[in-house]
Amino acid sequence: MTEQIITPSANDKNDTTTHNPETHNFDATDSYNFAYLDEQTKRMIRRALLKALAIPGYQVPFASREMPMPYGWGTGGVQVTAACLTPDDCVKVIDQGADDTTNAVSIRSFFARTAGVRTTEATDEASLIQTRHRIPETELTEGQLLVYQVPIPEPLRFLEPRETETRKMHALSEYGLMHVKLYEDISQHGHIATAYAYPVNVEGRYVMDPSPIPKFDNPKMSDCAAIQLFGAGREQRIYAIPPYSHVKSLDFEDYPFDRLRAPGACALCGADDSYLDEVIMDDQGTRMYVCSDTDYCSTRHERGHVGDQSDLFDSEEG
Amino acid sequence: MYVAVKGGEHAIANAHQWLGEIRRGDTLFDALSLDQIREQLALSVARVMAEGSLYDPDLAALAIKQARGDLIEAIFLIRAYRTTLPRLGYALPVDTSSMRCIRRISATFKDIPGGQILGPTFDYTHRLLDFRLAADGEIGAASKAEALSEDVPHILELLNRDDLIQEEELTNAEPGDLTREPLALPASRAVRLQALARGDEGFLLGLGYSTQRGYARNHAFVGELRIGMVAVEIMIPELGFAIEIGEVEVTECETVNQFQGSKTEPPQFTRGYGLTFGQQERKTIAMALVDRALRWRELGEDDLGAAAQDEEFVLSHCDNIQATGFVEHIKLPHYVDFQSELELVRQMRRDAATRQRRQQDD
């Protein structure tokens, strides 16, 4: 135990120069570096990102830092975003597809505060989108970055809890256990009983956890024009899918992968192709279905699309 | 109704305001000062410094105040602050044999060179509530004795002289640093000890206890437990020698454990090691027990399948900031995933009902 940390003396605590020797766009009230992380840490993360892009689907260990929000709240995604941001970026943050869920609001304001970057709710305006549990409905374009928050990066974890074992299985492409699991699902339930975090194979090599997105979103990962980056802070892993990579959801010839969504159309914008949230309206069990992607829904609404309860939209705005 | 499920900036701001108010409590009473916390809740401060892995009693006191006394929350505040600090350099290994001890005991010898020093311990207090404290009664100063001036050698070194205890290998290898490198398994002992030193007191207490109850029992006694101040020195390359930059209070525990010997080693005693910032006996003793249990492979012992022997299990789960984050995160919205499962369950129920109908028809 020779590791000792040198801390500045009490007098140095408010000395901003200890935090930030060299960067611009600096918020003096916070006395933290641009986008919070120091430049050394960003460099370490960027190296991991480059490696991850070079080996699609492979989990690269990285020295995840403690962030000022808890593990489980998106610290991996936040670190990846922080390492990728430039002052010209425009950031969108969604949680459950929505820009206005509490954690999305919190992370967006974190970057607005520590990096001073522009923020947006419009998918097509954003240069970087950080997401938890969804891929936007609007097709992503070249030049965009999609950053996923990942809780458990290891797709084999619940089949084999030991990292030391699963790393070997990946190295040897030993994915039989996963196929057996999917097969057993079918034999017991008649379906592959995985509705989210549905495993994929990237470019015919690594089996990868797509993060807990509903399997409805899986096909959007394949042949995607945007760069997809995945950050798991607590588990200290980064992985990536380069643009236009082939991403295949695992399945069998006689039980092909199928997307799953609540049937019907959005009650607010009438979309019948989007992923729907089920909202319980009263204690009689009345339900309505609305788009989980709030930007997609409101954009459609603005363009004149209506659902059968669109009046709620207007009352929300008013 | 639709609006109500959405959170938003306003709700967050209101929550923070309420938190601030409730943290302060009833303004009829004085606010706690950091000096009061640092001086009078010193063991809380010690735990926050140890598991926060940042030695700064004032900041730890601030964190405890800000966290409303929730020590894991306070540890989290310290960790998040610590990670932003620049590394100015690395200290030399602290020399605990030149510790200025306020407490030093050995369970394995009746008397020891330098003497047993009980120090400020709860050990022999009767756990009777002291109502004088409730009545703000001041308790008089303790009597003083002359401090020892010479170094205090470690007791287990005496056994070492007779070759009765396994000697730790001296290495000048640079120790790993979990806060700068991702944990790789298997981990070196230095990295394991770093993880345990930062690890949750309660988790290590439970694991250490489990070894005593037979889950990889290792027959431990406290060879020595010492608490006191040690000098922190840093090598200044321009000067060519080390200078002392300050002192830290640490607790150190060495256990002495029975060892039957193996194919290659004669029977001799072995050690477990614990070291933390501040006065933290419970944590360091538990740490030493777990450290010893994790050494089964190196000492040629059997893997008994016990939790405390399982390096990956222990190191992956001992950090309370990681643990509390992941355990608590399930209160965040998961309705998209839940919706997906809901649809799947509905689909499977429909299929099952169809099958049942078909069977009845047949």
What ipTM does the predicted assembly reach? 0.86
Whether residue B157 is contained in a domain is answered as: yes
Specify the amino acid at residue A119. T
Nearest neighbour of A105 by CB, restricted to B9, B59, B332? B9
What integer pLDDT is reported at residue A146 of this predicted model? 98
Q: What is the pLDDT of residue A8?
A: 36
CA distance A193 to chain B (A): 7
Is the pLDDT higher at B134 or at B79? B79
The rounded distance, in Å, linking the Cα atoms of B156 and B134 is 43
Cβ distance A100 to B6 less than 8 Å, yes or no, reads yes
* Site of tokens 């949230």: A277
Is the bond preceding residue A219 a cis peptide, omega within 30 degrees? no
**B320 and B217 together in one domain:** yes
Residues in B closer than 8 angstroms to A291, CB to CB, are none
Same domain assignment for residues B150 and B37: no
**Contact call for A6 and B90, based on CB within 8 A:** yes
Whether residues B85 and A236 touch (CB distance < 8 A) is answered with: no
Asked if residue B356 belongs to a domain, the reply is no
pLDDT confidence tier of residue A31, bands split at 50, 70 and 90: low
The whole-number average pLDDT for the span B321-330 is 96
pLDDT of residue B2: 39
- Helices B42-52/B189-198 angle, 10° precision: 140
**A-chain residue closest to B79, CA distance:** A66
- pLDDT over 50 at A66, yes or no: yes
**pLDDT category, B166, cuts 50, 70, 90?**
confident
In a domain, B241, yes or no: yes
Same domain as B157, residue B293: yes
Q: Is A266 noted as a catalytic residue in this protein?
A: yes
With CB atoms and an 8 Å threshold, state whether B326 touches A7: no
Going by pLDDT thresholds of 50, 70 and 90, the confidence category of residue A24 is very low
Lowest mean pLDDT across A286-290, A309-313, B123-127, B140-144:
A309-313
Q: pLDDT tens digit string along B180-213?
A: 999 999 999 999 999 999 999 999 999 999 999 9
- Phi/psi of residue B307, nearest 5 degrees: -55, -40
pLDDT at A2: 38
Q: Is A84 one of the annotated active-site residues of the chain?
A: no
**What digits encode the pLDDT tens for the residues A2-19?**
333 333 333 333 333 333
Residues in chain B: 362
Put simply, whether A278 touches B (Cβ < 8 Å) is yes
User: Catalytic one among A97, A224, A266, A307?
Assistant: A266
Nearest CA in chain B to A70: B325
Assigned domain for B78 exists: yes
H or E stretch at A60: strand A60-61
Residues 132-191 of A with CB under 8 A from B: 133-134, 151, 162-164, 189-191
Q: How many domains does chain B have?
A: 2
Taking 70 as the threshold, does the pLDDT of residue B146 lie above it? yes
The whole-number pLDDT of residue B139 equals 80
Residue of A62, A102, A134 lying closest to B7 (CB–CB):
A102
Residue B358 lies in a domain: no
Q: Which of A5, A72, A290 sits opposite B2 (nearest CB)?
A: A290
pLDDT for residue A314: 60
User: What value does the mean pLDDT take over residues A249-257?
Assistant: 95
Does the residue B274 lie in any domain? yes
Q: Which residues of B touch A107 (CB under 8 A)?
A: none
In this prediction, residue A27 carries a pLDDT of: 44
Interface of A with B in 185-244 (CB under 8 A): 189-191, 193, 195-197, 212-216, 234, 236-237
Q: Please indicate whether, in this complex, the C-beta atoms of B84 and A10 are within 8 angstroms of each other.
A: no
Task: Please identify which of the residues A97, A291, A304, A318 carries the catalytic annotation.
Answer: A291
- Over residues B61-84, mean pLDDT: 96
pLDDT 10s digits, B272-282: 999 999 999 99
Is A116 a residue of the active site? no
- pLDDT of B243 over the 60 cut: yes
pLDDT higher than threshold 70 for residue B130: yes
Q: For the residues A240-258, what does the mean pLDDT come to?
A: 96
Secondary structure (H, E, C), A224-243: CCCEEEEEECCCCEEEEECC
pLDDT at B218: 85
Is A23 a residue whose pLDDT tops 60? no
- E strand or H helix at A248: strand A247-249
Task: Indicate the pLDDT class of residue B6, thresholds 50, 70 and 90.
Answer: low
B277 touches chain A (CB under 8 A): no
Which residues span the domain enclosing B114? 96-120+145-168+180-324
Same domain, B23 and B54: yes
- B103 and B76 within one domain: no
Highest mean pLDDT: which range of A190-194, B81-85, B288-292, B331-335: B288-292
pLDDT in tens, B14-40: 999 999 999 999 999 999 999 999 999
- In this structure, of A148-162, A176-190, B123-137, B162-176, the range with the lowest mean pLDDT score is B162-176
Say which DSSP state A273 is in. Answer: S
Listed by number, the residues of chain B in 105-144 with a beta carbon closer than 8 Å to a beta carbon of chain A are: none
Which of A60-64, A98-102, A235-239 has the weakest average pLDDT? A98-102
Q: How far is CA B247 from CA A195, B90, B94, B244, in A?
A: 56, 15, 10, 8
Highest mean pLDDT: which range of B56-60, B262-266, B349-353? B56-60
Say whether both B65 and B108 belong to one domain.
Answer: no
Q: For residue A212, which residues of chain B lie inside 8 Å, CB to CB?
A: 334, 337
Task: Please tell me whether residues B163 and B237 are part of one structural domain.
Answer: yes
Question: Do residue B149 and residue B39 come from a single domain?
Answer: no
Per-residue pLDDT at B136: 77
Residue B25 CA, distance from chain mean position? 30
Q: Are residues B154 and B252 in the same domain?
A: yes
Residue B357 forms part of a structural domain: no
Nearest CA in chain A to B186: A164
* Residue written as token pair 């001086």: B39
pLDDT at B326: 96
pLDDT at A126: 98
**Are A209 and A128 contacting, i.e. CB atoms less than 8 angstroms apart?**
no
- Establish if A112 touches chain B: CB-CB under 8 angstroms: no
Q: What is the pLDDT of residues A173-230, one digit of tens each?
A: 999 999 999 999 999 888 888 999 999 999 999 999 999 999 999 999 999 999 999 9
Whether B7 and A67 lie within 8 Å, measured CB to CB: no
Q: Which residues of A touch B184 (CB under 8 A)?
A: 61
Q: Is B129 within a domain?
A: no
Same domain for B283 and B200: yes
Side-chain-facing half-sphere of A177: CA atoms under 13 Å = 16
Judge whether residue A144 has pLDDT over 50: yes
Q: What pLDDT was estimated at residue B147?
A: 80
The whole-number average pLDDT for the span A156-165 is 94
